[in-house]
Amino acid sequence: MTDPTVFPQSDVNTIPLNVKLALVFIALFVLFAIFGHLLTPHGFRETSLFARLKPPGTESYPLGTDARGRDLLARLVTGAQITLVVAIVGTVIGAVLGSLLGILAAASRGKTEAIIVAAVDVQASLPIIIVALFMLAMFDNSFVLFLLLVGLNGWEVYARLMRGATLQAKEFGYVIAVRALGASPMRIYLRHILPNILNIALVQFTVNLPLTVLLETALSFLGLGVQPPLTSLGQIMSEGRDRLMTAWWLTLLPGAIIFCLALSVSMIGDWLRDQLDPTLRNE
Amino acid sequence: MTGYIISRLFRAVVTMLLTVSMVFLFIRFSGDPAAALVPPDAPQEVIDQYAEAMGLDKPLWQQYSGYVGGLLQGNFGFSIHTGIAVEEVFLDRLPHTLQLGITALFLAIAIGIPIGAFAAVQRGSVLDRFLMGVSVLAFAMPNFLFGLILILVAALSFKTFLGGENAHVIWPALTLGLASMGSFARFTRSSVLETINAPYVRAAEARGIPFHIRLSHHVVPNAAIPMVTLIGLSLGSLVAGSVVTEQVFAWPGVGQLLVRSVATRDLAQVQFIVLVVAFTMVMANLVVDMLYLVIDPRIRVK
């Protein structure tokens, strides 16, 4: 492969085992989130005073129940849905916002660039969880606000990366040639620069996705993220935390899913990065 | 070199000033700050009185200069629940957080860096793959899950509770440092690999310099340069992680105070902690930049 900008067409046989397993897990997780409710007759908010804190394996509650007698399986399915939606929408928000700002900074130079770079510096000096907590202290928590806050996760990294890549791409010979031919700036950026720097954003996307999952679950675990009656994997853990000693399944099962999800995405991200980085591929 | 120092200083001051301005604007426009400070059933006259005392009737720029001036003079405000100055509450808890954070950083450096260096020297071996696999696990492990597992295992097998003020710092520190440990190990490995194949190291090999001298004189000093940045950057993840870890272990530090203040909407307290975090991070970045002057002679020449 000589052209580093072409997405590598890997043979299935060259994909390492851990990446295959990660892909299988993610496929299973998505299927679980979409079709999981078929596995249980119970709704995720349905309480039963007669079936409180049942351990996994109880009849009609294969994964047990929580302190209000709600089916853990049904709650995990809903939690998986919310975690998945927040992770993907949140990561997309950060990626699009950050990339656009980065490209805009490189394209405009001057004042706009100075403002964007300063904003990146400010964001880089505040961990996103601190920003999120600050906002949640001021505004009423709503799902939309939470989604936006999670979406801010890592935007500054995209902005920094895309600005650097755009500045570099602007000086490529073919870009100068196309410009000399009289192409409009819009055409130059959309057709000639963007496709060449998109893989950088793509790799960053897979680096950011597990971090977004961990941010959402951490905030929900603190009781400051997804609020009841909705639930997420972190929120289920938060509710089960006080019963760690007597009802371990309420924390360890959602925790294990979060861990496997973050791990799978990380491994795929590492592999993608190695594939796209021509200096590593030659090793 | 002086230009480098001045530009970094300028950037730090601008970043801090922008952060303060953002915090001011958000607090000012998130609602009525006076109404937020009084009980919900307070009559309008009381709210107005508060508003006047806070200077909310003055133009915005006067409020802003008053705010910044207040911060510079050390008037950070009072907790709305206890009426105690926010910096006092903060300073009360700071030693716990420092103890936790420093221990975690120490663990991450003392375990992560040797693992990474070892894996790089043994590149391609089973051990290398195993160590890198473990460091990916450490990176993806949610710290609240790891902490809860530690607590559960200790309670079930040793009948001890790892949380609370009197528990040993090592367990929350291990939980907090785990992710940094993983990223230190991975980063050290790639940094060492990069320098171990560098032309000047191969030249040293050609001159017959033994392996351990090459490592200590040529590889380590050069591989250490990017590590300084990484350790500086890890401060942010330690601050972020301590919020969750302190909650899991009931560790009475600043992170726990922050979560509690957010839950009870103690804006003055939250605002103070946010500003302190920003200040600490800006300072850390500045220190990293200055350290570069010492360890990377190329910058001094520019």
- Chain A: residue whose CA lies nearest to B264: A137
User: What pLDDT does residue A150 have?
Assistant: 92
Q: How far A156 CA lies from chain B's nearest CA (Å)?
A: 14
A104 in B contact zone (CB under 8 Å): no
Contact between B155 and A245 (Cβ < 8 Å): yes
Percent residues over pLDDT 90 in chain A: 36
Each of the 302 residues of chain B gets a pLDDT tens digit; together they read: 788 889 889 989 999 999 998 888 888 777 666 666 666 667 777 777 777 766 677 777 888 888 888 888 887 878 877 888 888 899 999 999 999 999 999 999 999 999 998 898 888 888 888 988 888 888 889 989 999 999 998 888 887 777 777 778 889 999 999 989 998 998 888 888 888 888 888 888 889 888 888 888 888 888 888 888 888 888 888 988 999 999 999 899 999 999 999 888 888 889 899 999 999 999 988 888 888 888 777 777 65
Of A101, A163, A121, nearest to B7 by C-alpha is: A121
A245 in B contact zone (CB under 8 Å): yes
Average pLDDT, chain A: 85
Reading the block at residue B55, the tokens are 């200077």
User: What pLDDT does residue B39 have?
Assistant: 62
Contacts of residue B144 in chain A, CB cutoff 8 Å? Answer: 217-218, 221, 237, 255
- B209 φ, ψ (degrees, to nearest 5): -75, 130
Contact between B161 and B218 (Cβ < 8 Å): no
Q: How far A136 CA lies from chain B's nearest CA (Å)?
A: 7
**Measured CA distances, B194 to A18, A38, B102, B123, B219 (Å):** 25, 51, 29, 12, 9
Best residue of A21, A121, A131, A246 to probe chain B, by most B CBs closer than 10 Å = A121
Q: Give ∠ CA B87-B90-B95 in degrees, rounded to 5.
A: 130
User: What pLDDT does residue B40 have?
Assistant: 64
User: How many residues would you count in chain B?
Assistant: 302
Alpha helical stretches, state H, A154-193? 155-170, 173-180, 185-187
- The secondary element (H helix, E strand) that includes residue A18 is helix A17-35
User: What pLDDT does residue B36 have?
Assistant: 63
Model confidence at A282: pLDDT above 60: no
A207 in B contact zone (CB under 8 Å): no
A165 in B contact zone (CB under 8 Å): no
Of A117, A125, A126, nearest to A98 by C-alpha is: A117
- Chain A: residue whose CA lies nearest to B15: A122
Contacts of residue B288 in chain A, CB cutoff 8 Å? Answer: none
User: What pLDDT does residue A11 have?
Assistant: 58
Which amino acid is residue B157, in one-letter code?
S
A255 in B contact zone (CB under 8 Å): yes
Percent residues over pLDDT 70 in chain A: 93
Of B128, B162, B256, B51, nearest to A245 by C-alpha is: B162
Contact between A236 and A71 (Cβ < 8 Å): no
Tell me the mean pLDDT in the region A171-184.
85
Tell me the mean pLDDT in the region A167-175.
84
Contact between B226 and B241 (Cβ < 8 Å): no
Instruction: State the burial class of residue A158 (Cβ atoms within 10 Å of its Cβ: 0-12, 13-18, 19+).
Output: buried
Residues B229, B284: Cα–Cα separation, whole Å: 10
Contact between B239 and A130 (Cβ < 8 Å): yes
Q: How confident is the model at residue A228 (pLDDT cuts 50, 70, 90)?
A: confident
User: What pLDDT does residue A283 have?
Assistant: 38
Q: How confident is the model at residue A281 (pLDDT cuts 50, 70, 90)?
A: very low
Residues B251, B100: Cα–Cα separation, whole Å: 9
8 Å CB contact of A122 and B149: no
User: What pLDDT does residue A188 have?
Assistant: 85
User: What pLDDT does residue A124 have?
Assistant: 86
**Measured CA distances, A208 to A131, A154, A254, A269 (Å):** 17, 7, 21, 9
- The residues, ordered by sequence, that sit 6+ positions from A190 with a Cβ below 8 Å of its Cβ are none
Residues A258, A252: Cα–Cα separation, whole Å: 10
User: What pLDDT does residue A2 have?
Assistant: 46
User: What pLDDT does residue B236 have?
Assistant: 85
Interface confidence, given as ipTM, is 0.85
3-state SS, residue A61: strand
Cβ atoms < 10 Å from Cβ of B225: 15
B144 → closest Cβ in A135, A210, A221: A221
- Among the ranges given (A184-188, A230-234, A252-256), the one the predictor scored with the smallest mean pLDDT: A184-188
pLDDT in tens, B27-52: 877 766 666 666 666 777 777 777 77
Residues B243, B233: Cα–Cα separation, whole Å: 17
Reading the block at residue B261, the tokens are 């203040």
User: What pLDDT does residue A35 have?
Assistant: 92
Of A211, A126, A200, nearest to A163 by C-alpha is: A200
User: How many residues would you count in chain A?
Assistant: 283
Of A73, A143, A91, A144, nearest to A265 by C-alpha is: A91
- Which residues, in sequence order, are bridge partners of residue A58? A61
User: What pLDDT does residue B256 have?
Assistant: 92
3-state SS, residue A274: helix
